[in-house]
Amino acid sequence: MEHTRLGYWIKEAGDVTPRPPLAADRDADVLIVGGGYTGLWTAWHAHALAPDARIVVLESEPVCGRGPSGRNGGFCEGMWTSLASMRGRWGDAPALAVGHAAEAAVERIEAFCAAGDDDAWFRRGGYLQISTAPATDGIGQAALAACQELGVADKLRQVPPAEVQAHCASPEFRAGIIEPITATLQPARLALALRRRLLEAGVDIYESSPVRRFREGGDGVEATLASGARVRAPRGVLAIGAAAKAPGAPLRSRLTVASSHIVITEPVPDVIEKIGWTGGEALTDGRSLVHYFRTTPDGRIAFGWGGGRIQMGARLHGRAEVDADVVAAQRRHLLEYFPDLVGRRITDAWGGPIDASPIHLPAVTSLPRSRAWVAAGYTGNGVGPTNMVGRTLASLALDRADDPTRLAFIDPPIPRVPPEPFHWIGGESIRKAIDSKEAAEMENRRPGLIPSAISKVPALLGFHIGR
């Protein structure tokens, strides 16, 4: 097994020639820091809105999309499964507006994939949230009720156990719900396709260009690279993912950096055929430390787990990306769900940081002078929503007031997380407690009193963990 930082998708997508770093000072109309999906979709939408605008993207890695955007599970979801929680935070009409905007984002990604020559493996198979223990049998019921009450009953549907088994047979799977609009895709291929088409459109992408200082002034923004080169623009966007939690960064008290890891099997088309998982469905279980799994066109099973360690501050490398203990546990979980995989090879394992928000929803946060915005908090659900958020950021960066700039995820109230090291100590204690409680539930054991009590702490603080 190759256990690396970058993982299978980036390897599979192949090499591209990196763009040179920014070498000299320059001006732009829109400045974007970060070349993951949020930054690239912002550039994409800004170019569509203002084709003559000079758009600059600065990316610290040698190639865009090498962060979580190129390494994720490839679930391209809407946000209907979050409707109950959005409604609770923002009210009925704002929640519905975001639900529709997130669905439109999946449709735009589909259109983007269909229009180009790059095959990003976009396939609509729906998203099944399934219970794997009596304790999680209520999975999705709040979202289902919210959809029915708000007149969008067709967005989610209850799936009885027999139908779950018909989608994907496993001794552990019980009932679930389905969001039909969800697709799976190859994340790194999507990031590279976007990068290529932005370059063709004339967007200036500078790679190996880490921004060391970002300043917002009365008349614009300025980003300074480690090399000293600077970009100035009237408005800017910080699309730096989990790095927004770093000391001194704007979301240091609004994010937790957790980690998630994925293992992928060798091609096992016979197993996929045997268990009937041939519809391209994206699946998750009902755990807070969620398992997520999907198939690939060449017959592999990719199996992710959100049970990775909490990081101190925004420590992005190390065990956020390569964690042998977590991957070993994950391998056991994979075989519990799919015993037919015993004896089959896992070819690759990797991980990445999760920009987890206490409200479990993405947010666009204005910097004090309203000349720059920072977007993060996708909490492991950014593949579809980054397109929606990028559309909003494009309008904000071009100083346009249109519907996307009135969506509820702009400057929402978000509870603060404690400062380090208390945040990390508390976060790791909660993660371990939830893991212990959920492992007991999976085995039909009674969870210990202490893990059960600690697992309740986030909700008491107004934090939303899990689905």
Ligand X SMILES: Cc1cc2nc3c(=O)[nH]c(=O)nc-3n(C[C@H](O)[C@H](O)[C@H](O)COP(=O)(O)OP(=O)(O)OC[C@H]3O[C@@H](n4cnc5c(N)ncnc54)[C@H](O)[C@@H]3O)c2cc1C
Chain residues binding ligand X by CB under 6 A are 33-39, 58-61, 66-69, 71-75, 77, 210-211, 239-243, 260, 262, 292, 304, 351-354, 378, 380-384, 386
Kindly tell me which of 287 and 451 has the beta carbon lying closer to ligand X: 287
Q: Residue 374, Cβ neighbours under 10 Å: how many?
A: 25
- What DSSP state is assigned to residue 199? H
Long-range CB contact pairs, 341-345, < 8 A, 24+: 341/265, 341/268, 341/271, 341/301, 344/265, 344/266, 344/268, 344/271, 345/1, 345/265, 345/266
Q: What angle do CA 406, 407, 413 make, to 5 degrees?
A: 105
Q: Which helix (H) or strand (E) holds 50?
A: none
- Written in H, E and C, the secondary structure of 360-403 is CCCEEEECCCCCEEEEECCCCCCCCHHHHHHHHHHHHHCCCCCH
Nearer to ligand X, 75 or 338 (CB): 75
Q: Residues, the chain, total?
A: 467
Comparison of 391 and 447: residue with beta carbon closer to ligand X = 391
> Shortest approach of ligand X to residue 211 CB, angstroms?
4
| CA torsion, ordered 431, 434, 436, 437, to nearest 10 deg | 170
Quote the least distance from Cβ 384 to ligand X, whole Å. 6
Q: Give the whole-angstrom CA distance, residue 134 versus residue 217.
A: 55
CB of 292: closest distance to ligand X in angstroms? 6
Using alpha carbons, list the distances in angstroms from residue 381 to 155, 285, 350, 389, 432.
Answer: 17, 15, 18, 12, 22
Nearer to ligand X by Cβ, of 301 and 454: the residue is 301
Radius of gyration of the chain (CA): 21
- Contact yes or no for 127/75 (Cβ under 8 A): yes
Of residues 73 and 426, the one with the C-beta less far from ligand X: 73
Smallest gap from residue 41 Cβ to ligand X (A): 8
382 close to 376: Cβ distance less than 8 angstroms: no
What pairing do the DSSP bridges indicate for beta strands 282-284 and 211-216? unpaired
Judge whether 277 and 164 are in contact, CB under 8 Å. no
Residue 307 vs 451, nearer CB to ligand X: 307
Q: How far is the CB of 170 from ligand X (least distance, A)?
A: 19
- Look-up: residue for tokens 């994939």? 113
Token reading at 53: 């605008």
Judged by beta carbon, residue 271 or residue 283, the one nearer ligand X is 283
Return the number of the residue (139 or 262) whose C-beta is nearest ligand X: 262
Closest to ligand X by CB, 39 vs 140, is 39
Both structure tokens of 139: 């999975």
Least Å distance, CB 69 to ligand X, is: 3
Q: How far, in whole angstroms, is CA 111 from its chain's centroid?
A: 20
* Distance between CA atoms of residues 66 and 188, nearest Å: 8
β-strand partners of 353: 259
Min CB(151)–ligand X separation in Å: 26
- Six-digit token string for 243: 């790095």
Q: How far is the CB of 378 from ligand X (least distance, A)?
A: 3
- Do 379 and 361 form a contact (C-beta atoms < 8 A)? yes
* Residue pointed to by tokens 């070819």: 347
Shortest Å distance, C-beta 250 to ligand X: 12
Least spacing, CB of residue 270 vs ligand X, in Å: 25
Task: Please identify, using beta-carbon distances, which residue of 126 and 451 lies nearer to ligand X.
Answer: 126
Of residues 224 and 429, the one with the C-beta less far from ligand X: 224
Shortest Cβ 37–ligand X spacing (Å): 4
